[in-house]
Structure 1
Amino acid sequence: MKGRSHSTLHPLATAVACLLLPAVPGMAWAQQAADGEARLQALQAQINDERRALNDMRAALQHRQQNLDALQRALDDEILGNARGRGGAAIAATGAFDLRAQGGTQATEPLASTQPQPVGQAPEADTRPPEVAQIFDQPGVLTPARSFILEPSVQYGYYANDRVALVGYTVIPAILIGLIDVRQVKTTTTVATLTGRYGITNRMEIEAKVPYVYAHSDTVSREIFTGSAQDNVFNAQGKGMGDIEATLRYQINQGAADKPFYIGWLRYKSRTGRDPFEVITDCVTRCVANATGTGLPLDLPTGSGFEAIQPGVTWLFPSDPVVFFGTLSYLHNFKRDNVSRTVLGGQTEFLGEIDAGDIIGLNLGMGLALNEKASISIGYDHNVVDRTQQNGEDLPGSVRLNLGTLLLGGTYRYNEHVSLNVVVGAGLTRDTPDLSLTARIPITF
């Protein structure tokens, strides 16, 4: 019985073993595949976590870089403020932060006199150029946004020139047959101007100028064609509204210490003043009451007689302790058609088309702040005036002029709203006014 049972169970066990043996490798392979998939998912999740952490670090680094740049601009503006003598005002404008090195690191602490800034918020940077004593017509510092500056000014100019005109012809060198007209012209001009500037934004302003002109001229001369050996003095004067101007300025870039500021501007000049063609001329050949005359105007004009447009660029370069500045401009006078002048006796003389010469202007200067309230500037202004044309031809006697002026000026700030600016100019070329004196009082509202 026992042997039979053993022989009977052995084939059954063998069959069961044969059925189970193929299933064991399949189950192991499936388990290995599941384990591999789990490992891949774990690695992918780890990669995603590392990528998110890296992105967070990049965002934090970018935020810190922005704060660092803002603090650096604040430090640059603080340096500019000290260079231009603004003192405490510069600190307040830059967020009232005290940046100082301690053991190779920088500490930022709010000053006790101002409110502390929130943590992580950089102070607002002052993007305006440094203030310098104004010596040229175009200022270098724009009006702050929504601020208005009213600037009354007075300019005095003196000009003296000698002129010798030979009226005749020569048959032998040094022997003149004819007359000699010797003239000494001395002219004084006083211009009272009311200027208004309004800041549209921190980088854009608009300006308008309304001048009132008083001019007086003394001419020492001998009337031509008379043969008189006696000098006579001819006086003339003129007063009234001058040419009204409007200017738009825009700060092109945001400079800093040792980085230039650029300001582009466009100026329009009207001809609201009394022009040279409207005054009565003591003519030479066409006068009824006086057949000779002097050829001089009996009244002086108060305007140029031409509308003009003038684009230009002003630049400022702060380099502690001075600020360098300059301007390059081009003035275009619009020509006039059907121009006539009035001569003595009520007659008119037709001149035709008159095209005044354009002007190329260049000036350079440097400013230095003496303390928080006073600053001085010195500079040179040069203008090249082209010839005047009549009916497409150069006007007889018209030549290209070079006007050079050396300027020295100073500004004293009484308070945050009122300043005094004085400029003295000396002519360096023959055609430039010998002396000019300008006083401005900008008042900020």
Structure 2
Amino acid sequence: MPKIPALSFAIGVSLVLAAFPAGAQSPDLMEQLKIMRQQLEEQRARVDELERQLRASGVAAPTQLDNLRGTGPAPIAAAGQQQDGAPAPSPQPINPNPTVGRPPSAESRAPQVAPIFESPGVLTPRGKLVFEPSIQYGYSSSNRVALIGYTVIPALLIGLLDVREVKRNTTTGAATFRYGFDNRLELEAKIPYTYRSDATVSRELFTGTAAERAFNTSGKGIGDVELAYRYQLNEGGVEKPYFIGGFRFKSRTGRDPFQVVTDCQTRCVGENVTGTGLPLDLPTGSGFYSVQPSLTWLMPSDPAIFFGSFSYTHNFKRGNVYRTVQNGEKEFLGDVKPGDVFGFNFGMGLALNEKASFSIGYDHNSVGRTKQGGQVLPGSVRMQLGTLLLGYSYRLNNQRTLNVSVGAGLTRDTPDVTLMVRMPFSF
């Protein structure tokens, strides 16, 4: 290792001596040169000792030697102020912080963008387990006007006018587990618990009364358990997109709509409607098995990340379905198949600092028409569900992150507002 400070100092001392001929040097200057030579020898001895210790230990990390290099000798004391044999003051390094120039540690790197969609974009690292408790709240309201009768002239109805307003609250708590088998493969299991409550206010005109009638019902229990896996298809990189393929299976472990009792005395279809036709106890599951393949993409573009996905949900047909009405009677419905769902979403994430990030996105689902007995169910139409989402994320430490997202419904069939709070724990 070259001794740059010592050699430079020695050259400077030689030039000073050459500038004064013999016999012309004053006693004060000779004393200062003597002190400088003494300090030079001590500095050289210290550097040699540190170099010897460094070579013997084999440590390549910054040591005291890095602080001494480039700092020069200690300040020169005035003649007569330092006693003979007294040690020279230790040199003070210009930059005593040995961490300058090192790459940033994992703790100071920018966090992942705030998740706003159901499926995460970044996979779990190999050998890591993530436990993510979450709670989601949704509120929706709808108004329905049913006209049963005929008109003689415009604006004159002969028959029944049914005005119904529905307020629906749904709260779902879930425990999600993710495990990374390698850097490209991730498995997931989700166990939800759902609590629902509906309040229906209706007023029937032309029936002799104009009084409003409220119908309240609720339901709670385990929802439909889901299993999923995701696989990263390519390497990706800076200014290169990442593609992640996924496959999700949804069971029907929750209480389905055909198990709850409907408020009807006899039949609930046709002309013999003798009740409200509403369930007395709300279901917690869909009642159908389904599978969902998906493709997710992420595009890093400093300082933002663009992301999105395409998905298709296939609902399996269920045969020999019965609906339960009051007095324990069963109403045969036959084969029922819900419509399949095509969905897509896109968004942008931005890291605000080392711990906080912000995301905005749009999610859209197109739900097909329901079929009964191979025929489209009367009154069933294709629904369009559009939601605008905002998300925030804050990294509490290396193992915990708090994620909050808010969704606003943009179409009539979409819930008015949804709020989700998630806190994944990494092990």
- Superposed CA offset, 1:90-121 (max 9, x none): xxxxxx9xxxxxxxxxxxxxx9669x9xxxxx
8 Å Cα contact 2:266/2:325 also seen in 1 = no
Aligned length: 322
How has the CA–CA distance of structure 1 residues 241 and 373 changed in structure 2, closer, same or farther, with 3 Å as cutoff? same
Asked whether 1:438 is paired with 2:420, we answer: yes
2:367 alignment partner in structure 1: 385
Asked whether 1:263 is paired with 2:210, we answer: no
2:165 alignment partner in structure 1: 184
Q: 1:238 aligns with which of 208, 216, 219?
A: 219
Q: What is the one-letter code of the residue matched to 1:150?
A: F
Q: Percent identity between the aligned chains?
A: 63
How has the CA–CA distance of structure 1 residues 112 and 331 changed in structure 2, closer, same or farther, with 3 Å as cutoff? farther
CA–CA distance in structure 2, aligned partners of residues 234 and 223 of structure 1: 13
2:345 alignment partner in structure 1: 363
Q: 1:280 aligns with which of 250, 253, 261?
A: 261
Q: 1:311 aligns with which of 276, 283, 293?
A: 293
The gaps in structure 1 that reach 5 residues or longer are 1-95, 97-110, 117-128
DSSP 3-state at the match of 1:296: coil
Deviation, structure 1 residue 284: 6.7
Deviation, structure 1 residue 344: 1.2
DSSP 3-state at the match of 2:210: coil
Report matched runs for 1:36-115 at 5 Å.
none
1:148 alignment partner in structure 2: 129
Q: 2:383 aligns with which of 401, 404, 413?
A: 401
DSSP 3-state at the match of 1:350: strand
CA–CA distance in structure 2, aligned partners of residues 318 and 394 of structure 1: 44
Asked whether 1:160 is paired with 2:141, we answer: yes
1:344 alignment partner in structure 2: 326
CA–CA distance in structure 1, aligned partners of residues 279 and 207 of structure 2: 19
DSSP 3-state at the match of 1:201: coil
How has the CA–CA distance of structure 1 residues 207 and 325 changed in structure 2, closer, same or farther, with 3 Å as cutoff? same
Deviates more, 1:228-237 or 1:143-152: 228-237
How has the CA–CA distance of structure 1 residues 227 and 329 changed in structure 2, closer, same or farther, with 3 Å as cutoff? farther
CA–CA distance in structure 2, aligned partners of residues 312 and 160 of structure 1: 30
CA–CA distance in structure 1, aligned partners of residues 412 and 376 of structure 2: 21
How has the CA–CA distance of structure 1 residues 357 and 291 changed in structure 2, closer, same or farther, with 3 Å as cutoff? closer
How has the CA–CA distance of structure 1 residues 353 and 225 changed in structure 2, closer, same or farther, with 3 Å as cutoff? farther
Q: CA RMSD in A?
A: 2.3
Deviation, structure 1 residue 292: 2.1
1:34 alignment partner in structure 2: none
8 Å Cα contact 1:224/1:292 also seen in 2 = no
The gaps in structure 2 that reach 5 residues or longer are 1-60, 62-96, 103-109
CA–CA distance in structure 1, aligned partners of residues 192 and 230 of structure 2: 20
DSSP 3-state at the match of 1:345: helix
8 Å Cα contact 1:284/1:294 also seen in 2 = no
Q: What is the one-letter code of the residue matched to 2:217?
A: A
Asked whether 1:221 is paired with 2:217, we answer: no
Deviation, structure 1 residue 264: 0.3
1:422 alignment partner in structure 2: 404
Deviation, structure 1 residue 169: 2.0
CA–CA distance in structure 2, aligned partners of residues 377 and 235 of structure 1: 37
Deviation, structure 1 residue 397: 1.0
CA–CA distance in structure 1, aligned partners of residues 273 and 243 of structure 2: 57
CA–CA distance in structure 1, aligned partners of residues 369 and 421 of structure 2: 32
Deviation, structure 1 residue 362: 0.5
2:119 alignment partner in structure 1: 138
8 Å Cα contact 1:402/1:429 also seen in 2 = yes
Asked whether 1:320 is paired with 2:310, we answer: no
Q: What is the one-letter code of the residue matched to 2:231?
A: Y
8 Å Cα contact 1:353/1:391 also seen in 2 = yes
Q: What is the one-letter code of the residue matched to 1:252?
A: L
8 Å Cα contact 1:284/1:295 also seen in 2 = no
1:413 alignment partner in structure 2: 395
Q: What is the one-letter code of the residue matched to 1:149?
A: V
DSSP 3-state at the match of 1:323: strand
CA–CA distance in structure 1, aligned partners of residues 177 and 146 of structure 2: 45
Deviation, structure 1 residue 226: 4.6
- Superposed CA offset, 1:274-299 (max 9, x none): 11111111127538xx9721111111
Deviation, structure 1 residue 395: 0.7
How has the CA–CA distance of structure 1 residues 224 and 386 changed in structure 2, closer, same or farther, with 3 Å as cutoff? farther
Q: What is the one-letter code of the residue matched to 1:362?
A: F
Q: 1:373 aligns with which of 347, 355, 358?
A: 355
Q: What is the one-letter code of the residue matched to 1:365?
A: G
How has the CA–CA distance of structure 1 residues 261 and 277 changed in structure 2, closer, same or farther, with 3 Å as cutoff? same
Q: What is the one-letter code of the residue matched to 2:234?
A: N
How has the CA–CA distance of structure 1 residues 291 and 410 changed in structure 2, closer, same or farther, with 3 Å as cutoff? closer
8 Å Cα contact 1:203/1:250 also seen in 2 = yes
8 Å Cα contact 2:241/2:299 also seen in 1 = yes
Q: What is the one-letter code of the residue matched to 1:176?
A: L
CA–CA distance in structure 2, aligned partners of residues 132 and 160 of structure 1: 32
Give the TM-score normalised by structure 1: 0.70
Q: Decide which structure has the larger Cα Rg and report it.
A: 1
CA–CA distance in structure 2, aligned partners of residues 271 and 349 of structure 1: 21
Asked whether 1:300 is paired with 2:300, we answer: no
1:331 alignment partner in structure 2: 313
- Superposed CA offset, 1:390-413 (max 9, x none): 001111111000000000001000
CA–CA distance in structure 2, aligned partners of residues 179 and 229 of structure 1: 12
CA–CA distance in structure 2, aligned partners of residues 292 and 255 of structure 1: 62
